Structure 1
């Protein structure tokens, strides 16, 4: 991969800055020019100057519609008449379906059978025909190619297509125009379309820009490919939008030429970043949208003192999942806790425990008694207390108070 110190590498002839500028001229009337804003709080937190590009404010809540629209506008009249097809259960499906309907182009989206109903209904709501096929994305992808060949439709790849890459590069075109002091980009990588387009722009306009790709630790596909490693790509990641097992051939070449480094982030990093963006910036992002900030939090030395541009690439997250992430973050910060206390089963015991909580001004949310499935003697019980505190310091004082009263109490920790 490239290094920030070397001179500007030769831009791949397959996608260049003129392609991105031409894409922007095509799509600008029909997409949102999302804001690029300085975050003073995140800057103070990370020791860098942090700019956020709010692509979660697109109509479909993700940058993906930029590339999809550029591809659609480049189709011939005959290709438009025959329609387009894609395999996707996420933001690519939404963006393609929305703009195809707007342009009067028939669109078909093939999704795996286990795709959540809400994603199916959203895609159908944009006017696309949805075909459910197979149990995995690979099955849906193969079927989409077969249908495309059978019906003479144009297959629209989610990332490994010059027109898609050029469209995604318009994100950086806007961002560097709005915040010309940016000297570092932290860009999520799934298949590599976004970082390929953004890197093409950055290297052409600001050759010394430091470009960092970010992948979920559970899906290090591009990271492994460029290092010649064989790493597993599996697991239930929060960043499902970048959970790609096989990166593109074209995007891999561009990333190899233009990107300085790829960093991996853990699920805990992603959860913390997502929670911070909601608390500090009052903006909802999906797991992939939090990846750039997650990299800054987990690899601070790489970014400290620099002016960093982060793309909040999408905001499509299930509300129940969002609630779980926020509650888990509260638990890790000590503001929510579950405390397990061993007690003797006799009158007044629960009252005495509650008195300790009251004296420490800690709010009790839930109580769980366990008399049967416990290793304690028959006259003992386990009491789990879910409680709410102001901060970690107050929780520590509560634990000390319980110990002084002679209670054996432990915190039930999160993974």
Structure 2
């Protein structure tokens, strides 16, 4: 049994090679994407002389197209050929980045160009996350793919970290076209790497690609469905609370902290460091199961609860502001919470979703769990005060933690019965 477990908990060299190439490809693609996003509003207002409101509408349409297409592109991958869907998306993306160099400064032409770009990006998002999960070849009650989703979060953070700095430097030195040229080059490199990955992936004997063996998953449907529904609902609340760091918590720092400054500039550095530590942690704890996975979620939720509980006790006014040290502690705890929860929840949603429709449910989770509900936090902040706002946030996380504890006990019993059946 021990030898069997060891074999189950490892992946071979070709799987590691394929995952590595896919992650490097994604790093280049995300860097190109965040470069464009970081200068888009400025480009529209400076080059097209658009009003800020109209530029914001343009930005929202572009981002909305990505979200809508991401919702359905996973299903397209499920029903057709996922490798080809992403190949088309990446080729179209590369061509469109190149076309940005030559497109005239016309609002309608650029809008149509960015709508097409949004479609191409949407074709990639959910399907690539399915590749990250499927390459681990998990079946039955195996839980080994969390490391892949953490690494996936790292490459996205790397792109988000360096892209704005590169874009700003290029814009100041050579103008906006230099950013589009580099985005095209990075997208081209990403596309070539993806083609290499697709050849490796096609040769792997993966359970998820064996359409005739889907029926063997039947006995796990009930536990997987329960996990999926629980985590989708939990993810909505947790995401809503943790995203408040970017808005209500930032406003609080601006208004009530001595020499208030933007902690968010340091967030990407901290996230990458904490994610690397998280990777090491998952590699040390080899024999993961649903019970341990939900304990990880519980730890992440507790970090968030402690952060907002501390913030709710701070006494500050416009005249008597608080020092930066306690706020820095709260900020670090929030980043740790995000570092643990975001990739873990993404992985749970992937692992527990129906095997025939991994792409569809990745799209649903991308749209629902990632939805921006920040405005509700602002309304609470405006109608009450920071202390009550942060207390409400901490209570939501406390309720989430309690529900995780209860659900973990339920899953532990279910999982034990399935393991007995497997043996």
Same fold (TM over 0.5): no
Query: Which structure ranks higher in relative contact order (CA pairs < 8 Å, sequence separation ≥ 6)?
Result: 2
Instruction: Give the structure-1-normalised TM-score.
Output: 0.26
Query: Which of the two has greater helix per residue?
Result: 2
TM-score by length of 2: 0.25
Larger strand share, 1 or 2:
1
Larger radius of gyration: 1
